[in-house]
Amino acid sequence: MQEGDTLSGFESKIFRKDGDIIWIAENCRAVRDAEGKLLYYEGTVEDITERKHSEEQIRRATGELARSREETRAKNLIMEENLRTAREIQLTMLPQQYPVFPKNAAPEQSAFQFTHRYQPAETVSGDFFSLSALSDTEASVFICDVAGHGVRAALVTAMIRALAEELKPFAREPGNFMRKLNSDLCNILKSTGSPMLTTAFYLVANSQTGVLRYANAGHPKPLILRRAEDKIQTLANIGGHGQPALGLFDDPPYETSETRIAPGDLIMLFTDGLYEVQGENEELYTQQRLLVDVQAQVGKPTGQMFDDLLEAVRSFSTSHEFEDDVCLVGMEYSGKPAMKS
């Protein structure tokens, strides 16, 4: 060692006879006289066993964390792929083409014209709707909203779709249809021990008579846009009282209500995600505000009206996005169709 040279931080192991290992750190320097003659070496030895154990634990924990992160990333990729697949399946459950009335009519000449907008808040949605031709003159529209959104709500919508498909014998009587659907859903949800609130609305319209019959299970009241009169009405229950959502009670008395529609009328059905939006200063986008915005758009073609309405609600929202699933369905009555002899 040259004058002033030091040896510090040199680490080594000591293997004890009992099998233990001790780690030490050595520090050493040369001490010389005025002429530079080496007098002696001085140094210290520090037991760093605990520190080395701690460092080894940190290394192991870091390695395990890295492995865990990689496993989590791989699982997330699989989950994302599964959710994308679930979204594609759910979208195929929605109407891929609109029915026409009568069935041999050109779409633009159908007695009922349909439009919809469907926007999940997450990859999958708790909103669902269906359109059916019960005959050449009768159309049915079903819309529902399972509380919450995401995978759990989407699974319940899949169950409701399957149940509704089995209820075609009840399809012409909205009240009976809703009672039977509620009974079947309650029986399924009882076994889970976890009720899921589901609002729903079901209507049957006759193109020959203009009679519209419907039942409401706790769902937001649809609107009738009487375009010829430049007027908007809500589809309230015949008794004026609300009826409970599906899946809560065994046998609620869902009633069939009735009204008439005229050529040019548009029935607008929607889920509450359309208007349950918060704006600046915690102001809420209310149903009354929705009526005002719909009135402002009433003269537009249905598709453009829906797009402009959605944009108006987004502009109101502080996040400029919808926090809940949104489903909009429009059924426009063009008038009594010509029936082939």
Structure confidence at residue 341 as a pLDDT band (50, 70, 90): very low
- Helix, strand or coil, per DSSP, at residue 26: strand
Q: CA-CA distance, 321 to 306, in Å (whole number)?
A: 16
Calculate the average pLDDT of the chain. Answer: 87
Which of 87-96, 133-142, 164-173, 253-262 shows the lowest per-residue confidence on average (mean pLDDT)? 87-96
Structure confidence at residue 179 as a pLDDT band (50, 70, 90): very high
C-alpha 219, offset from chain centre = 18
Instruction: List domains and CATH numbers for the chain.
Output: 6-47 (2.10.70), 99-333 (3.60.40.10)
- Lookup result for tokens 């089995």: 166
pTM, two decimal places: 0.76
CA distances from 20 to 14, 15, 44, 45, 157 (A): 8, 6, 22, 18, 64
- Lookup result for tokens 């792929």: 81
The pLDDT assigned to 218 comes to: 95
Q: Which two tokens stand for residue 56?
A: 């080894």
